Chains A and B, each alone.
Chain A
Amino acid sequence: MMKLQTKLALFNLLSKLVFSALFIGFLPLIIERINITQTDNELIKKREEVISLIAEVGIGPFVMEDTATGFGSYNILKEEYISLERAPAGEEWNYIDISKRIIDDETIDYRVLHYSLGINGEAYLLEIGKSLSSITYSARNIRNLILVFLAFFIIVTLISDLSYTARLLKPLRIITGRLRETSSPAFDPAEPLITSTEDFVRLDRTLREMMKKIGELFRKEKEITVNISHELMTPVSVLRSKLENMLLRDDLDPATEAGIEESLRTLHRLKALVNSMLMITRIESRQYLKEDSVDLQGLVREVTEELAPMAEDGDLNVILNCGSSYTFLKANRPLLFSMIYNVVNNAVQHTPPGGRIEITGRDNDGRFELSVCDTGEGMSPEQLDRLFTRFSNRPSNSSTGTGIGLAITKSIADFHDIAVRVLSAPGKGTQFFFFFPVNSL
């Protein structure tokens, strides 16, 4: 996985490197070409100079009668030479080539201009040469200069590419940042993004429209939740009050009393059921606030104390391993209480007398971990699979629970980004693990 910005910069760098490599590869050829043209031009210019000099002072000073060869001149470093000698008449030369010359027992490659001159009826051959080593020397200089320039160019453009793409991609960063911060789709879409890149404007618009639609759906769901609760709870309330008043009458026989109590208990179950489902809906549509800083060790201790009488009554050995306080930020305390309570209560209810429940809360390198382990009945793999499914653990006995407790636990855990793991086997007890996230600031 790589950032878009890095990818763009890398591609740019790579394309520049390939281009530069090609350029460097062809560079000697190009430079040679340029150099030779340049040298040839110089040679021709020199030839013109020599010709005009001869026209001015005559051939005399250049041709010595006593030598067979004629005039020859070298500069000290043998970089250049000029020679003028008699040549057989009737031959014409005018070309430039590369020839070897032996000067002071040294063979040197020269770029040589050959030119035939006719002066006073005599034919002469003029040769002007420039040593190739001086040409390659200057070629090397030019190449070095170009390499330095290329390196400089690549570094400068890389930096400017990086900063430009960073600027260019800033809107994208803003959009992803907004999405990340949006924990609830009911969020009010922020003001439109200001950017001159059309693609980003379109992306931003699409996302904001989507957010608005989802937010609308959530708002409707919230409304339905409220309406259901109102519509259901009022008739339940009427029934309940009627039955309670009935129970207060003095003329009831014990059977009627018990019957009324049973009806009231059923109503209580109905109420618990509706409340539990509303609670899950509210958690899932994020209607709860997360504004509490909760000492988790304290919370675990509180839950354990709350359930101590029940554990004692069931002859259970409860072992509580709690370290020093650990504060979990941005949480909903009552919800976390319910989450832990449900699991510990589950352990208390499903562990036979004489059993053991071990509750351990610890700070694992900044992350809080809570485990609740019992020596209870345990669960089969099928039961384990359906553990967090609503109503799957519906108790056969109508006096206990609604079978929705662990579904609530799971939704509260999800709401707080807490990972839940359960290990269990029939007869081997159950182990619940809660892995809390690192505190987000």
Chain B
Amino acid sequence: MNVLIVEDEKSLANEIALFLKRENFLCDMAHTGTEASEKIAVNLYDFVLLDLGLPDYDGLDLIKEAKEINADVSFIIITARGAVEDRVRGLDLGADDYIPKPFALAELHARIMAVARRKFRISSPDITLGEFVMNTGARKLMHGNTEVEITKKEFDLLYYLVINKNRVLARHQLYEHIWGNALDDQYDSNFIDVHIKNIRRKLNAHAPSPWLETVRGVGYRISTDS
């Protein structure tokens, strides 16, 4: 997928690009609104990651412009301005999602995947985890023909780990993904440990789950063979 990163903070743009390239995205960068406008005019992007705080351009104008050229382009707004009005206006103008700084790269990845699935109607694949199969469409975890009874939050946790498989996710990243920014100040590393413990207990009642790993001192990881 083709992604344009519009971000005036060069080092941040570089880090995003570095991360997404590892996930096999084709990345392009623009550090000003004018540059972005020019690149959008000549290239077909699937995604534009747009920082609203551009020095030379109202980011929201850029959305309008880009949509006129290519109605299919998806926008994810990145902003340090947490103002609700910006968010609402951005989504009104056709942005597909909104992610406040400072975000986890894993979270950005998950959001892109979610938009892509919605947009391109990618049929939700079944993901095999050891003896388990995760049905991402129906949001169910199966062991053979039996459904593993896990809560919505537990499913979300597992799924976030699956999207970022083979990569360790820190507890606070997992917490942030599940509970969002509003409850940031209530963060307790124990929250995630308890949920993982519950997930393991439920899984192990059916079959062992060695694929769900604890990475000492860091967090958790789902390792797949492929």
* A residues apposed to B, CB below 8 Å: 226, 229-234, 236-242, 244-245, 247-248, 254, 257-258, 261, 264-265, 267-269, 271-273, 275-276, 278-279, 287-289, 306, 309-310, 313, 334, 337-338, 341-342, 345, 349, 399-402, 404-405, 408
Contact = CB atoms under 8 A, between A and B. Distances in A.
Contact of B15 (A236, A242, A257, A402): A242
B100 to A, nearest CB: 7
Interface stretch (B41-49, B118-126, B184-192): B184-192
Contact of B194 (A226, A272, A289, A310): A310
Given A229-B82, A257-B218, A261-B218, A241 B172 contact: no
Given A236-B102, A237-B12, A248-B167, A230 B194 contact: no
A278 B82 contact: yes
Contacts of A254: 216-217
A255 to B, nearest CB: 8
A237 B7 CA distance: 12
B22 A240 contact: no
Contact of B101 (A226, A234, A279, A334): A234
B83 interface: yes
A240 B218 contact: no
B155 interface: no
B13 to A, nearest CB: 10
Given A258-B218, A261-B218, A287-B84, A236 B190 contact: no
Nearest to B216: A254
A159 to B, nearest CB: 53
A401 B187 contact: yes
B201 to A, nearest CB: 11
B41 to A, nearest CB: 27
B215 interface: yes
A48 to B, nearest CB: 101
Interface residues of B, number: 48
B11 interface: yes
B215 A233 contact: no
A28 to B, nearest CB: 80
Contacts of B82: 226, 229, 275, 278
A300 to B, nearest CB: 16
A401 B179 CA distance: 14
B207 interface: no
Interface of B: 9, 11-12, 15-16, 18-19, 22, 53, 80-84, 100-106, 153, 167-168, 170, 172-173, 176, 181-191, 194-195, 197-198, 215-219
B194 A245 contact: no
Contacts of B197: 313
Nearest to A257: B218
B102 to A, nearest CB: 4
Contacts of B100: 233
B217 A261 contact: yes
A248 B15 CA distance: 12
Nearest to A338: B182
Given A264-B170, A309-B198, A242 B11 contact: yes
Contacts of A334: 182
Contacts of A400: 187-190
B88 to A, nearest CB: 10
A272 B185 contact: yes
A405 B170 contact: no
Nearest to A402: B185
B113 to A, nearest CB: 17
A238 B12 contact: yes
26 contacts: A226-B82, A237-B80, A240-B102, A241-B16, A241-B19, A242-B11, A245-B15, A245-B19, A245-B105, A247-B168, A248-B167, A254-B216, A258-B216, A261-B170, A261-B217, A265-B189, A306-B153, A309-B194, A310-B191, A313-B190, A338-B183, A399-B187, A400-B188, A401-B185, A401-B187, A402-B184
B190 to A, nearest CB: 7
B101 A236 contact: yes
Contacts of B194: 309-310, 313
Given A237-B80, A254-B216, A310-B191, A345 B186 contact: yes
Nearest to B180: A334
A261 B219 contact: yes
Given A234-B80, A247-B218, A278-B82, A267 B183 contact: no
A155 to B, nearest CB: 59
A210 to B, nearest CB: 26
Contact of B188 (A237, A287, A349): A349
A237 B101 contact: yes
Most chain B beta-carbon neighbours within 10 Å: one of A268, A275, A287: A268
Contacts of A237: 9, 12, 80, 101-103
Contacts of A309: 194-195, 198
Contacts of B11: 238, 242
Contacts of A267: 102
B198 A233 contact: no
A334 to B, nearest CB: 6
A280 to B, nearest CB: 10
Given A239-B102, A244-B19, A264-B173, 11 more contacts: A234-B80, A236-B101, A237-B80, A238-B9, A245-B18, A254-B217, A261-B170, A261-B218, A268-B184, A272-B187, A313-B197
B47 to A, nearest CB: 17
A230 B172 contact: no
Most chain A beta-carbon neighbours within 10 Å: one of B82, B106, B153, B186: B186
B128 to A, nearest CB: 24
B87 to A, nearest CB: 12
Contact of B217 (A238, A257, A289): A257
A247 to B, nearest CB: 7
Given A245-B18, A247-B168, A313-B197, A401 B101 contact: no
